[in-house]
Amino acid sequence: MQEKEVRVRYAPSPTGMQHIGGVRTALFNYLFARSKNGKFILRLEDTDRTRYDEKYVKNLYDTMDWLGIDWDEGGSKGGPFGPYVQSERFALYKEYAMKLIENGEAYYCFCDAERLDRIRKIQTENKMAPGYDRNCRHLTAQEVKANLDAGKPYVIRLKVPMEGVTKFHDHILGDIEWKNEDISPDPVLLKSDGFPTYHLANIVDDHFMKISHVMRAQEWIPSTPLHVQMYRSFGWEHPEFCHLPMVNGSDGKKLSKRHGSTSVNEFRARGYLPQAIVNYVAMLGCSYEEGKEFYTLEELSNAFKLEHLNKAPAVFDYKKLEYYNANYIRRLSIEELYKWTLPFITGTGDAMLEINPENPQPKPNVGPEFSGVALDENGQLYCVDKSMNMSSEDVKNTLMGLMPLIQERLKFLTEAAEMIHFMFTEPAVPPAEQIIPKKLDIAKTKEVLEAAKDFVHQVFKLNHEEAEELAKSTAEKLGIKLGDFMMPIRMAVTGSRVSPPLIGSIIVLGEEKSIARIEKTIAAL
């Protein structure tokens, strides 16, 4: 028997920014489709018009592009089962809601808001299960006709069986059985304004788009018995179900803003690479090869299997993601690192994305205020400190020279701004207590800095290993530890403890400027 084509979808509602939970759902659907040479469909479920915003639609496509998750149908690509936006398919939903009425699987409900509120109040006061009391389910054909002829507003409700059970199989959780009396009683399919509810639009779209597998978060399990009943009512075969494990914070509760960044835009603004996000998120609740940590999107696609998904919730570990990010930064070419760090150095692009003020993680220090480098209106680099007398080309060449030095130190792209600051502004001499090592006094520190001038002069004639050996031998001659030799020089040359490796920094800054800064520091002590 030939296997049916795998067709899966990611169908977000454009009522908020894309977040990690949604991305994980999209990614697993994408990986499954690619692993089976199937199709990955992107669909917009935009029936909630009160919270809908065009900026959320744009954010969806921007996020998918940034992550490199390509889709086969939907959006600008269209496809054979379009339109792929629910608000453009209303006629279809109404047609099929009416078919359910004709088949006796649904009914008109004329209850007004006042009556429904009264029922809700009675149910709450008496601690009864919530839900519609099925009042209009028993109207006669004559009563229905009279109400329609009188132009009375109505909704269309599904007839949910009042007895028996609904069974379905889940790829992760196995066989699930649900009492029909526990399914939401006769939910609305078509609202009085002609808009479909989520349930109707979702089932009709999945059927006509030939979705083979529905992969979504486990929080959707309570809706699944209802969806199975709707497929039965239409006389359609339902897709296979796979409810993905939840993503929790370290406290075991569902991942939310209180744990830190959750929206993809915020991860972008905080200097994460898309490769790191994709690789880490793909590991949340799924296993691949034993002992392997780093995967390309293509490798993940080849290794993905439904049977490797876990039942237990996954825990989102920000430290682990930081580890992935630092590793992917190391893997970039110098040109790529320049491209990825430049927005954070100049305060443009991703550095301008919104950061949630309630996030417990501090806001990153990015932009010209921290780097000393900006972009003019023509996109040309310039040094904010005019006294540095650097052309746009000088700035770019200096940045490129710094990239190999900062690469090994970066955990986030955002950290580049502060690390390079010393090259583009004349740093103030730090306070004496920051310059003088704990075990040295002012006199000894001055002696170290005097020796440092000759050290700097010699560095330009040596390779890196030879320069390191010279630093060690100079420290020995002074009778101090290597760290106590290097630290005052670092503070004098860069003005900060946060900087790239010192010898490389001296070479990029140049002999003249490096010695001038050392002399200025000696004079200030």
Q: Which residues are catalytic?
A: 257
Any bridge partners for residue 85, and if so which? Answer: 44
The one-letter code for the residue type at 15 is T
Concatenated DSSP letters of 2-25 = PPPPPEEEE---SSS--BHHHHHH
Could you tell me which residues come within 8 angstroms of residue 244 by beta carbon, excluding any fewer than 6 positions away?
A: 24, 25, 28, 172, 215, 216, 217, 218, 285, 309
Any bridge partners for residue 217, and if so which? Answer: 244
Q: Report how far residue 32's alpha carbon sits from residue 239's, in angstroms, rounded to the nearest whole number.
A: 15
334's tokens: 């110098």
The one-letter code for the residue type at 318 is Y
Q: Measure the CA angle with vertex 79, ends 78 and 83; round to 5°.
A: 65
Q: What share of the chain is helix, strand, coil (3-state, %, to 5)?
A: 50, 10, 35
Report the chain's C-alpha Rg in angstroms: 31
User: The sheet that has 188-190: what strands, in order across it?
Assistant: 106-109, 155-158, 188-190
- Number of helical H runs and strand E runs in the chain: 21, 13
Distances (CA, A) of 332 to 77, 403, 409: 31, 10, 13
Q: Report how far residue 133's alpha carbon sits from residue 120's, in angstroms, rounded to the nearest whole number.
A: 10
Place of tokens 């659907």: 29
Could you tell me which residues come within 8 angstroms of residue 122 by beta carbon, excluding any fewer than 6 positions away?
A: 128
Place of tokens 């059985």: 177
**Alpha helix segments (H runs only) across 240-291:** 264-269, 274-282
DSSP code of residue 390:
-
